[in-house]
Chain A
Amino acid sequence: MDKIKLTVALAGNPNCGKSTIFNHLTGGRQHVGNYPGVTVEKKEGLIETDRFEITLVDLPGVYSLSAYSDDEIVTRDFILQGKPDAVIHILDASNLERNLYLTTQLMELNVPMVLALNMSDLAQARGKRIDDRKLEALLKMPVVVTVGHRNQGTRELIDAVVRAHESAGQLTDRQAVDYGLEILEELVKIEGELCRGAVFPGFYPARWVALKLLEGDVSLEKRISSLGAGAAVLDQVLRSRQHLSAHFADSAEVLVADRRYGFVSGICAEVMAEPAALRVSMTEKIDRVVLGPLLGLPVFALVMYVIFKFTFAFSAPVVGWLEAVLARLSGSVSGLLPEGLLRSLVVDGIISGVGGVLGFFPLVLFMFFAIAFFEDSGYMARAAFVMDRFLSRFGLHGKSFLPLMIATNGCAVPGIMATRILESRRDRLITMMVTPFMICGAKLPIFALFIGAFFPPEKGAWLMFLMYGLSIAIAFFSAWLLKKLVFKGQSAHFVMELPPYRLPSLTGLFLKMWERGWLYVRKAGTVIFLFSIVLWATFRFPEAEPPPGLSPGALAAYQLEHSYAGMAGKWIEPALRPIGMDGVGGMALLAGLAAKEVVVSTLATAYSIGQSDHGTGVTLKERLRRDPFWSPLKALAFLMFCLIYAPCVATLAVFYQETGARIKWLLFLVGWTTSLAWLAAFLVYQTGRILGF
């Protein structure tokens, strides 16, 4: 029977012991030549087993696959054009971190790989312990421990090559570097141009070419510029590089390298234990405290508290000023327009509704700035790492914390989309179910409004911090319950990227703050604006005939009570009474299903119509405080309900699509969150009442 012929490439850093292993494997059966066009030595050897005839190609020793040297170009071109059946990647185990950088790039070439942890005796002598099984699980490729100069593990390498070749179909299941949303967005654009112009078809994967062009690969740029549609591709590359430089105040090349180093650091943190004396860099010194089992969580809690303290302390005067301006605007418009429906629509509907939400714009900006600071400094990646220990106990995948953070940093919609980084469907579904519990930018004004109205200003940051902690706790508890009851099974292994710490650039921080803040304003100017008009109509009509002799205050309350919204509120009130809410609050919550900010605009409209002080410059906070119905306990129960109940339509829509358009999961999410919200609010309100609050 003919033997199966395989071509296997041997790649690795210079001085990783590659040639020693090559010599052991091939013995004397070697052939030395040159790669065409370059003076790079090409060594080939033959290995024969009972089933296979393997041609082993010793590639030049390289540190990366950029295009700075002929060696690097030869290596990557051989893998891409020569299409070997597998690559044996030799790593110097005593310098794992430096060697893994090449691994990240080889993985991007999408070829079956086997890792040889060479010089493992030297690594051991230096006190480094490497968990090769975990490394294998994380990188999803066979890992063999070798000691080249003693010929240990070399035969096992060939067995592993056969295994890798035979399981080549599962190749794309491997963990690859997560370059982050910003870089990915640019890669998608470049890839789009590459595909549109059909540039580089065949053996070059489009994503790899896009990444290399973003990194400024001169060799690829030259080849692309000579092609017909090349100019459009290079134009896009230039725009992408400029966008990333403006955003991060660093070149795209550095950013990509940072992400790769982050990935490598993450793997090393997972699989390697080394004596403390060997760790010297500032990043590692900080990580020793920040990622420590003792201080990890307290540091995370402190960072979150600092974010809220900063947000509340610095935004309070600006929020107060903006509220006063909006109240004055309301008063001025009242004076300009004659008494009637149109004035009520503009003042009670549009200005109160949109203004109620827009008033918190500075608070949202300050919050996004603070979060962007910790994100860009590299801390948020550590937060996810720290939380991983707890997440796994609650049935969540370690990477699940990233979608939760994205939801907190802005919106649950990108948070749910970010669950795509999770590979197992079970992990994705659990994370998607609990992501809406986080306090997104849209829920922030509700919390700011009620905390501002019913609690002393110095307790604002503390309460917000508590609510934030509670949202995480509820997400964890739900995940645990869902794991126990609905989604049973084990979580997959993962690598958490740990990029080096860096001082964030002010331009980058302001850009991020503005991008996220602008969405808030856009939403206020579109969806919230439209809702304010419709909600005003439901609170204003039908025009009831009041009994004679009512005071202006009683007249306004009568009108509200007999409106469509008032009647609907009355209808749902019995279900809300046990949790300390009235019909108006219920209507606000119902309207909040459209967008969470609408809770605030609904209350603003209802209180503007329902009270006789229209256009007098009284803020919603003040109106809520004056209303005898409300108390701090009721406010707390209301916030509890807001924190947990069904997410907004946009989130539900994305959830529906991301779960594969399964209506059962959508209904489950709405039912699960709303019943949990009711139960939590009930517990808070009834316990508070029993305790005499």
Chain B
Amino acid sequence: MEKIIVGLIVVIAVIALINCARSAFNKGACPGCSCGDKTKTPPRRSR
């Protein structure tokens, strides 16, 4: 039973991390950190 619970926790963590990495490459920000949040950055200077 203990093994199943621990296994589930690890699997959920792996899925969440894969989500994090995908989010980082799609949005330029990981969910745990808003430092790269595009809404917080100035628009590109028009040329």
> CB within 8 Å of B: which residues of A?
172-173, 176, 181, 184-185, 188, 340-342, 345, 410-411, 413-414, 417, 420-421, 423, 519, 522-523, 525-528, 530-531, 533-534, 537, 594-595, 649-650, 653-654, 656-657
Question: Can you list 28 A-B contacts (CB < 8 A)?
Answer: A172-B45, A173-B47, A176-B45, A181-B40, A341-B2, A342-B2, A413-B33, A414-B41, A420-B41, A420-B42, A420-B45, A525-B32, A526-B31, A526-B32, A527-B17, A527-B30, A527-B32, A533-B9, A533-B10, A534-B17, A537-B10, A650-B24, A650-B28, A653-B28, A653-B36, A654-B28, A656-B25, A657-B28
A533 → chain B closest CB, angstroms: 4
Bound form: Cα–Cα A531–B6 in Å: 14
Output the nearest chain A residue to B9 by Cβ-Cβ distance: A533
Are B10 and A417 in touch, CB under 8 angstroms? Answer: no
| B19-45 Cβ-contact flags toward A at 8 Å (1 or 0) | 011001100111111111000111111
Are A184 and B36 in touch, CB under 8 angstroms? Answer: no
Q: Identify the 4 closest CB pairs spanning chains A and B, nearest first.
A: A526-B32, A527-B32, A413-B36, A184-B42
B24 → chain A closest CB, angstroms: 4
Q: A345-B6, A534-B13 are contacts. A649–B32 as well, Cβ < 8 Å? A: no
A196 → chain B closest CB, angstroms: 15
Bound form: Cα–Cα A649–B24 in Å: 7
Q: Of A181, A534, A650, A657, which is within 8 A of B30 by CB?
A: A650
Number of A-B residue pairs at CB separation under 8 A? 98
Are A523 and B32 in touch, CB under 8 angstroms? Answer: yes
Q: Which residues of A contact B21 (CB under 8 A)?
A: 649
Q: Which residues of A contact B36 (CB under 8 A)?
A: 411, 413-414, 417, 650, 653-654
Are A413 and B35 in touch, CB under 8 angstroms? Answer: yes
Q: A410-B35, A522-B32, A523-B33 are contacts. A530–B43 as well, Cβ < 8 Å? A: no
Are A411 and B43 in touch, CB under 8 angstroms? Answer: no
Bound form: Cα–Cα A414–B34 in Å: 10
Q: A420-B44, A420-B45, A656-B25 are contacts. A342–B6 as well, Cβ < 8 Å? A: yes
Q: Which residues of A contact B24 (CB under 8 A)?
A: 649-650, 653
B33 → chain A closest CB, angstroms: 5
A420 → chain B closest CB, angstroms: 6
Q: Of B29, B31, B46, which is within 8 A of A172 by CB?
A: B46
Are B5 and A342 in touch, CB under 8 angstroms? Answer: yes
Are A527 and B20 in touch, CB under 8 angstroms? Answer: yes
Bound form: Cα–Cα A353–B21 in Å: 20
Q: Of A185, A411, A423, A525, which is within 8 A of B42 by CB?
A: A185
Bound form: Cα–Cα A519–B21 in Å: 17
Are B45 and A423 in touch, CB under 8 angstroms? Answer: yes
A423 → chain B closest CB, angstroms: 7
B31 → chain A closest CB, angstroms: 6
Bound form: Cα–Cα A528–B31 in Å: 12
Are A527 and B41 in touch, CB under 8 angstroms? Answer: no
Q: Of A413, A530, A653, which is within 8 A of B17 by CB?
A: A530
A657 → chain B closest CB, angstroms: 5
Output the nearest chain A residue to B31 by Cβ-Cβ distance: A526
A656 → chain B closest CB, angstroms: 7
Bound form: Cα–Cα A342–B47 in Å: 57
Are B40 and A185 in touch, CB under 8 angstroms? Answer: yes
Are B42 and A534 in touch, CB under 8 angstroms? Answer: no
B37 → chain A closest CB, angstroms: 9
A537 → chain B closest CB, angstroms: 5
Output the nearest chain A residue to B20 by Cβ-Cβ distance: A527
Are B35 and A650 in touch, CB under 8 angstroms? Answer: yes
Q: Of B17, B25, B42, B46, which is within 8 A of A531 by CB?
A: B17
Bound form: Cα–Cα A340–B2 in Å: 8
Q: Of B16, B42, B46, which is within 8 A of A530 by CB?
A: B16
Q: Which residues of B contact A421 (CB under 8 A)?
A: 45
Q: Which residues of B contact A650 (CB under 8 A)?
A: 24, 28-30, 33, 35-36
Output the nearest chain B residue to A543 by Cβ-Cβ distance: B3
Q: Which residues of A contact B13 (CB under 8 A)?
A: 530-531, 533-534
Q: Which residues of B contact A345 (CB under 8 A)?
A: 6, 9
B27 → chain A closest CB, angstroms: 8
Q: A173-B47, A345-B9, A650-B33 are contacts. A530–B41 as well, Cβ < 8 Å? A: no
Bound form: Cα–Cα A481–B21 in Å: 31
Are A413 and B29 in touch, CB under 8 angstroms? Answer: yes
Q: Which residues of B contact A533 (CB under 8 A)?
A: 9-10, 13
Q: A342-B6, A533-B9, A653-B28 are contacts. A414–B17 as well, Cβ < 8 Å? A: no
Output the nearest chain A residue to B19 by Cβ-Cβ distance: A530
Q: Which residues of B contact A420 (CB under 8 A)?
A: 41-42, 44-45
Q: Which residues of A contact B32 (CB under 8 A)?
A: 522-523, 525-528
Q: A340-B2, A342-B5, A654-B28 are contacts. A534–B33 as well, Cβ < 8 Å? A: no
Bound form: Cα–Cα A413–B29 in Å: 8
Bound form: Cα–Cα A340–B5 in Å: 12
Bound form: Cα–Cα A421–B24 in Å: 23
B34 → chain A closest CB, angstroms: 7
Bound form: Cα–Cα A607–B44 in Å: 46
Q: Which residues of A contact B16 (CB under 8 A)?
A: 530
Are A519 and B42 in touch, CB under 8 angstroms? Answer: no
Q: Which residues of B contact A417 (CB under 8 A)?
A: 36, 41
A260 → chain B closest CB, angstroms: 17
B30 → chain A closest CB, angstroms: 5
A608 → chain B closest CB, angstroms: 16
A658 → chain B closest CB, angstroms: 8
Chain B CB within 10 Å — which of A172, A417, A528 has the most? A417
Q: Which residues of B contact A594 (CB under 8 A)?
A: 17
Bound form: Cα–Cα A657–B25 in Å: 8
Are B34 and A519 in touch, CB under 8 angstroms? Answer: yes
Output the nearest chain B residue to A441 by Cβ-Cβ distance: B35
Q: Which residues of B contact A173 (CB under 8 A)?
A: 47
Bound form: Cα–Cα A649–B45 in Å: 26
Are B25 and A653 in touch, CB under 8 angstroms? Answer: yes
Bound form: Cα–Cα A468–B5 in Å: 44
Given contacts A519-B35, A649-B21, A653-B36, 12 further A-B contacts (CB under 8 A): A341-B2, A342-B2, A413-B33, A417-B41, A522-B34, A530-B16, A530-B17, A531-B17, A537-B10, A650-B28, A650-B33, A654-B36
Q: Which residues of A contact B20 (CB under 8 A)?
A: 526-527, 530
Q: A653-B24, A656-B25 are contacts. A522–B45 as well, Cβ < 8 Å? A: no
Output the nearest chain A residue to B23 by Cβ-Cβ distance: A653
Are B30 and A649 in touch, CB under 8 angstroms? Answer: yes
A690 → chain B closest CB, angstroms: 41
Q: Which residues of A contact B28 (CB under 8 A)?
A: 413, 650, 653-654, 657
Output the nearest chain B residue to A110 by Cβ-Cβ distance: B46
